[in-house]
A and B are shown apart, each in its own frame.
Chain A
Amino acid sequence: MLDGWPVIAPLAILALGGGLIFCLGAFWAGRPSGLLWWLAVLASLAAGLFALSGPATGVYQGLLDVGLYGRLFTGLLALVCLLALLLVRRYALARGFAGEELYGLMLLAALGMALTAGAMHWLAFFLGLEMLSICLYILLAMRKGADQSMEAGLKYFILGAVASSLVVFGIALIYAAGGSLLMGPSLTPAGQAPGGLTLLGLGLVLTGLAFKLSLAPLHVWAPDVYEGAPAPITAFLAAGSKAAVMAALIRLCALLPNGLWPYWVLALWGLAALTMLAANLSALREEKAKRLLAYSSAAQMGYLVMALVGARSGGLSAALFFLVAYALMDLGVFGMLGVLSPVRRDLGRLGELAGLARRHPWRAGFLVLCVLSLAGMPPTGGFVGKLFLFTAAIKAGYLGLALLGALGAAAAFYYYFKVVAAMYLQEPPPGAEEPPTAGPAEVLALGIIAAGLLWLGIFPGWLHGLARAAVATLGG
């Protein structure tokens, strides 16, 4: 047992930073949004840096994993938050919603994400899940005067509330059966085999998580919400909340007793197969950029869950590696859409990207890098990541599932190349609107993302080693 506050410093910094920003915004008459933004950036940076060092294993007060696994995700989520902050600044200023609410809520959402990812106790887990969800409900609807944004927030809120209630009911059932709220012991009660009640509870929890991860058939909200939300917030939602929830799912896979594994793997198999097919096929006919990428992001989660069926044969580290690459890719594509969007509304149809390569070769090149990574092409992190995922599924003997995944990925090439074709093969329509100039913060964020994707693709060894070490600490 580790106590003492240094081990939870990253979370404390996020919480204090968020609180401080709210107080400053409320009591400082001028509402200095620039200063508040800097505070938020520093807080997420500090949280990330604090997460870098620490012991390999450790639990804080029985609630939180402060070992390598928890710290890895805290670091990743702080990075996601940092990049999202860099991407959102100019966007929010131009659209009039920059302020303490935005930055404070983003920090608190990141706190919720880190809690979810590191939770070893059902209550901490639920607390984190709710915190990230509630912050996101508001963030999604943040853009004032935009009906679509409001609608997105409301949709996510109503469906999210249902998902939360499923999760909390599931937790109650697991507690009733296992007599403990600690994740591990609750699933493996001493002296008795886990029974149907635990299974039912787990099923409800999984349903709730599947909603958050937009796994089919619970993915239908994603295109609407992604489309309606401000693009940088979409990036934050797609990368951050999914990484956090997936972290919890990976942990559950590691903690699950052998007796329950066959049922669990069946559920994962079904979710993965359905998601890979449904999301990819839905994306084929989509002509709107954000909706297409929403389906793509759902499909990516499908591949990830496919690797989780190989959890018992080393699939977890593959999932972890891919998750990092995925977070960068989705931040990249949605972030770039934010950069390209005119002030009145976000970029809509793919046709609006026509001729981008001629007018803005760097932006088009960046988007191509991200899209190729999503499609799993070298030399990007997405290529290595997808390879790991397929290896994990095949090593575990799920060749049929891998084949389904390959079918989905083959279909996906079509819509990914539609994005590329719009930029490179189509001529810009006469009188096309010139996208706004990107600010230095955005350029920095996009540069970090591009470098990260290439680095993961060419030198995957470091992160892969780290992922293996982190996953190894989960076993207990």
Chain B
Amino acid sequence: MLSVPLLSLLILLPLAGGLLALACGGRLRLARGAALITALVELALASGLLTLTGGAAQGPWLLTESAPWLPALGISYSLGLDGVSLLLVLLTALLQVLCVLVSWRQIDDRPGLYYFLLLVIQGGVNGLFLAQDLFLFYLFWELQLIPMFFLVGMWGHEDRVRASFKLVLFTLAGSLLLLLGILGLYASHGAATGSYTFSLAALAGTPPAAGVQGWILAAMLIGFAVKVPLVPLHTWLPEAHTQAPTAGSVLLAGVLLKTGAYAIFRVALPLLPWAAVPAAPVLMVLALAGIFYAGWIARAQEDLKRLVAYSSITHLGLVVLGLAAWDLMSVSGAVLQMINHGLSTSALFILAGLLQARLGTRRLADFGGLWGALPRFSAFFLFFAMASLGLPGLNNFVGELLVLLGTYRASPVAAVAGFIGLAVGVMYVLRMVQATIFGPAREDLAAPDLNSREMLVLGVLAAAVLYIGLHPGPVLELIEGPVRALLAPGPRVALAVF
């Protein structure tokens, strides 16, 4: 065991860096610099962990930390890092660096507070991905909600106040149901076993009676579904995404939505295995409904950011589909899809933000023929659009394939439906590409092409997309160990009903 509390460092470093940025106040250069350095150090730390632990070879847990916090109530400060959380922490760290770079010229109003909020989100999310105690998990769950309210509300676009209120009301109301679920689990576990604990391992070891599980799972799933977001609890997302500043959209899509899916994967289904069986078809239907519905709606969007936002819902629908099938392959694919979506959708949001900064509009009708004026931009746009579409050789293809194949083993009908749903996706992506970079050029679209900072940001993302698309082995290796460990004890979700 290492003597340096590396996991706590992952959480505390962004918080400390955030406070530093906050202390810089209105001094733009200082605040920006503090944020960039913090984000870079955090990325180095996360990548260091990847090499240090040498992948998934040593069983599910790569690193753990534990200390008593409120022993009288069975609450402990315990963190654990496995392949899945490592990947998510790494993704967050990468996106954070890019977020700071993307905001470089965009944000000049109260930069200290802005970077403070960005970094607090990172600290909270890292805590969430590492928490091995439900109380701690809930604490971090709540902690990451508030900064986004400010980010959207203070630095967002024209309709930002409404969007930030909707965001906070939906997510907080969901988290209250989650709280009731957690407390219900805590109380029923304590009443049954005599030991009151919030420890994930202990709770998973002795699940509560089957009768109670349904209620608890329902409360938890509603809380998580708001975040994912699952139709019909998704209405806050398009608005929040559309109104958020670019970095906000990136964090929202790349990281915060993942917390919902991650929670279903780590908390809801493993802790309540018996209720998960009847819940799986429901989840699948909702996930499929999301894929079709959001894909259809995306097709009709006039606003580029809104279109990408709806595409997020379809991608995460596929993630939930894979999780609900609860099969080694489908769950691994779902986890991989979380990473993939974080890479490709973030890139699309960044591109949309760049376009808005240059042309002052997000309306598809205002674009067209950009390939002539902005060739670099257009090349990246096409590349990430294709990645989002699931072109073989790019990252999403691998994840989608795994999810669908795994789901097929659990429920062929659902898998086929999911496959057809993906075809809907082709339509909106093609429309988006067509409306933006192809077609007749509009004469007044004169704007500078990407500068080197922007090229760097997008280049890094493109490299990651290509790497996972061409050589997914090492990433999947990291994912499969923890997934296997989580899947092992629970009953297999047989979906003969489908």
A contact set with B: CB distance below 8 Å: 358, 361, 372, 375, 377-379, 383, 387, 390-391, 394-395, 399, 402-403, 406, 409-410, 413-414, 417, 420-421, 424-426, 460-461, 464-465, 468
Cα distance A387–B137 when bound, in Å?
A: 13
Restricting to B171-200, which residues have a CB under 8 Å from any CB of A?
172-173, 176-177, 179-180, 183-184, 186-187, 190-191
- Residue of B whose beta carbon sits closest to that of A411: B173
A425 and B160 contact, CB distance less than 8 A: yes
Residue of A nearest to B144 (CB): A378
Measured between beta carbons, the chain A residues less than 8 angstroms from B146 are: 372, 377
The answer for the CA separation of A424 and B176 in the assembled complex, in Å, is 24
The list of the 10 closest CB pairs from A to B, nearest first, reads A410-B173, A406-B176, A425-B153, A394-B183, A413-B172, A395-B187, A394-B187, A378-B139, A425-B161, A378-B143
Q: Is the CB of B150 within 8 A of A424?
A: yes
Known: A375-B172, A406-B176, A425-B154. 16 other contacts (CB 8 A): A361-B113, A377-B145, A378-B142, A378-B143, A387-B138, A391-B187, A394-B186, A402-B180, A410-B173, A413-B168, A413-B169, A421-B153, A424-B153, A425-B161, A426-B161, A461-B69
Between A and B, 17 residue pairs with Cβ closer than 8 Å are A387-B179, A387-B183, A390-B183, A394-B183, A395-B191, A399-B184, A406-B176, A406-B177, A406-B180, A410-B169, A410-B173, A413-B173, A417-B168, A421-B164, A424-B150, A425-B160, A468-B72
- Which A residues are in CB contact (< 8 Å) with B113? 361
Q: A461 to B68, alpha carbons, bound, how many Å?
A: 10
Judge whether B149 and A417 touch: CB under 8 Å.
Answer: yes
Let me know if B438 is at the binding interface, CB within 8 A: no
Give the complex CA separation of A378 and B127 in angstroms: 13
Residues of B within 8 A of A420 (CB): 149
Cβ-defined partner of B176 (8 Å) among A395, A409, A414: A409
* Given A377-B146, A461-B69, A414 contacting B160 (CB threshold 8 A): no
**Cβ of B165 under 8 Å from chain A:** yes
> How far is B160's CA from A409's CA once the two chains are assembled, in angstroms?
24
Q: Does B70 contact A (CB under 8 A)?
A: yes
B149 cross-chain contacts in A, Cβ below 8 A: 417, 420
Complex: A409 Cα to B187 Cα, angstroms? 21
Determine the chain B residues whose CB is within 8 A of the CB of A464 once the complex forms.
Answer: 70, 72-73
Asked if residues A383 and B172 are in contact (CB atoms below 8 Å), the reply is no
A419 to chain B, nearest CB (A): 12
Residues of A with C-beta under 8 A to B143: 377-379
Q: What sequence of 0s and 1s flags, for each residue 11-27 of chain B, a beta carbon within 8 Å of any chain A beta carbon?
A: 00000000000000100
CA of A396 to CA of B197 in the docked complex: distance in angstroms?
A: 16
Which single residue of chain A is at the shortest CB-CB distance from B140?
A: A378
Cα–Cα, bound, A446→B335 (Å): 46
What's the Cα separation between A410 and B179 when bound, in Å? 12
- Most chain-A CB neighbours within 10 Å: which of B135, B139, B186? B139
CB distance from A288 to the nearest CB of B (A): 20
B323-359 CB mask vs A (1 if < 8 Å, else 0) is 0000000000000000000000000000000000000
Contact partner of A424 (CB less than 8 A), chosen from B154, B168, B190, is: B154
Is the CB–CB distance between A403 and B186 below 8 Å? no
A421 vs B142: C-alpha distance when bound (angstroms): 18
* Cα(A468)–Cα(B70), bound, Å: 13
Chain B residues in 8 Å Cβ range of A378? 139, 142-143
Cα(A378)–Cα(B69), bound, Å: 15
State A377–B138 Cα separation when bound (angstroms): 10
**Closest CB in chain A relative to B49 CB, distance in Å:** 25
Contacts of A377 in B (CB 8 A): 142-143, 145-146
User: Please, which residues of chain A bring their CB within 8 A of the CB of B165?
Assistant: 414, 417, 421
List, in ascending order, chain A residues with CB within 8 A of B161's CB. 421, 425-426
Tell me the smallest distance from the CB of A378 to a CB of chain B, in Å. 5
Closest CB in chain A relative to B333 CB, distance in Å: 33
Contacts of A406 in B (CB 8 A): 176-177, 179-180
B180 proximity list for chain A (CB < 8 A): 390, 394, 399, 402-403, 406
**Cβ < 8 Å to A, chain B residues 19-56:** 25
Contacts of A417 in B (CB 8 A): 149, 165, 168-169
Minimum Cβ distance to chain A for residue B253 (Å)? 22
- Residue of B113, B143, B146 with most partner-chain A CB within 10 A: B146
Chain A residue, CB-CB nearest to B190? A395
- B164 / chain A contacts, CB cutoff of 8 Å: 421, 425
Q: Which residue of A lies closest to B196 (CB)?
A: A395
Report how far A406 CA is from B180 CA in the complex, Å.
8
Report the bound CA distance from A140 to B139 in whole Å: 39
A358, A383, A403, A413: residue with the most chain B Cβ atoms closer than 10 Å: A413
Q: Which of A383, A391, A409, A464 has the most CB of B within 10 A?
A: A391
- How far apart are B135's CB and chain A's nearest CB, in angstroms? 8
Pick the contact of A410: B142, B172, B184, B187 (CB < 8 A). B172
User: Given the complex, which residues of B lie within 8 Å of A403, measured CB to CB?
Assistant: 180
